[in-house]
Amino acid sequence: MRIVIVGATGNVGTALLRRLRRESGPELVGVARRLPGPSAGEPYDGVKWHSCDVGAPDAAGRLTAIFAGARVVVHLAWQIQPSHDRRTLYRTNVGGSRAVLDAAVRAGVPALVYASSVGAYAPGPKDHPVSERWPATGVPGSSYSEDKAEVEGLLDTVEREHPGLRVVRLRPGLIFQRDAGTEISRYFLGPLVPVQLLRYGRIPLVPTNRRLRMQAVHADDVADAYARAVLGEARGAFNVAADPVLTPELVARHFHGWTVPVAAPVLRAAAALTWRARLQPVDAGWVDLALNAPLMSSDRAETELGWTPRADAVTALRDLFAGISHRAGTPAPPLSPDPTLPGRPAALLKARLPGHPNPY
């Protein structure tokens, strides 16, 4: 079985390569803009690599050739930074996804597995979980959410026009693992947050709001859900998240901190001001998303994919925090622990400000 993974060097892609190596027989093909070096080692060795910028004008044609003969294409490529360059993000995320879909159809690929997200959903409840039937129309004000929702619309069109193509959409919560510690710190925290405190298992102050309730899942568990979708015959959307729901109170209890009530407008204003000042890399849209994304039920994944998480959400968060505090990473470019990359303290010496240079 020839499996092509677009975006195979990132957080989920790395975990999926680890997971699929346990299967006998699959031929793994990785697609990324920047490739791992020849000495990168596991899980990147044994993969046939192709360099391709999915947002480039010629991407659909290049991907069509790469997809030829594939049994399944897994589309994981997504760009989070630079947050100050909306045009670049849209080019990669929506334009690149359109290129992947076009290429899959042209190459006659039987199945496409797409990395959607809880962020694709419209604003929803925080006191009970929703199923995959909740509208995937996005959270207004969040460019990440709006782009995810637009790609969901592209998938709807592909499914209508090409009913023979098996399309699977996985909608996970926050995805954590130790190896993604440096990446997530660079993309979401920036160089000024004192992450060394996490080495002692402490978060001194945790902002709390009644709508700051989120779900998480370990990257290895997400990878298992992807593998089941790739190797099985399932179709449609699947929520993927682990218990318990992460609340500020729960995080403060596990990491020995104090909760500080903060109103939603204050959270949003603080994010907007610090982002515009280039002090941290995420805009206020991420606050809108955190406050409005619904809680999800993973019942369908458990029933139809046979999926259950091995790690709970707190364990996944601990693994991430360990990775952040120890600057963990891998030889793959997105997960690299290189201290000079945008979002790291040393990058400030080269005038690489948070959320501004292109870290990809």
- Give pLDDT, residue 114: 98
Q: How far apart are CA 8 and CA 44, in angstroms?
A: 9
Query: What's the predicted TM-score (pTM) here?
Result: 0.95
Block residue for tokens 């979002």: 343
Beta strands in 1-90 (DSSP E): 2-6, 27-32, 48-51, 72-75
Beta-strand pair 27-32/48-51: parallel
Q: How far apart are CA 277 and CA 15, in angstroms?
A: 35
CATH number for the 2-174+217-241 domain, one of 3.40.50.740, 1.10.540.10, 3.30.420.40, 3.40.50.720?
3.40.50.720
One DSSP character per residue, 67-110 reads: HTT-SEEEE-------TT-HHHHHIIIIIHHHHHHHHHHHTT-S
Cβ proximity of 51 and 33 under 8 Å: yes
Dihedrals phi, psi of 208, to nearest 5 degrees: -125, 140
- Give pLDDT, residue 217: 98
Q: How far apart are CA 357 and CA 341, in angstroms?
A: 9
Q: How far apart are CA 317 and CA 313, in angstroms?
A: 6
Each residue's pLDDT expressed in tens, for the chain with a length of 360 residues:
999 999 999 999 999 999 999 998 899 999 999 999 999 999 999 999 999 999 999 999 999 999 999 999 999 999 999 999 999 999 999 999 999 999 999 999 999 999 999 999 999 999 999 999 999 999 999 999 999 999 999 999 999 999 999 999 999 999 999 999 999 999 999 998 888 888 888 899 999 999 999 999 999 999 999 999 999 999 999 999 999 999 999 999 999 999 999 999 999 999 999 999 999 999 999 999 999 999 999 999 999 999 999 999 999 999 999 999 999 999 999 999 988 887 777 777 676 778 876 655
- Give pLDDT, residue 353: 77
- b/e map of 42-52 (b: 16 or more CB within 10 Å)? ebbeebebbeb
Q: Residue 90 burial (CB < 10 Å; 0-12/13-18/19+)?
A: middle
Q: How far is CA 228 from the centre of its chain?
A: 18
Q: How far apart are CA 152 and CA 94, in angstroms?
A: 10
What residue spans define the domains of the chain?
2-174+217-241, 177-215+245-294+310-348
Tokens of 222: 């997400």
- Give pLDDT, residue 358: 66
- Give pLDDT, residue 357: 63
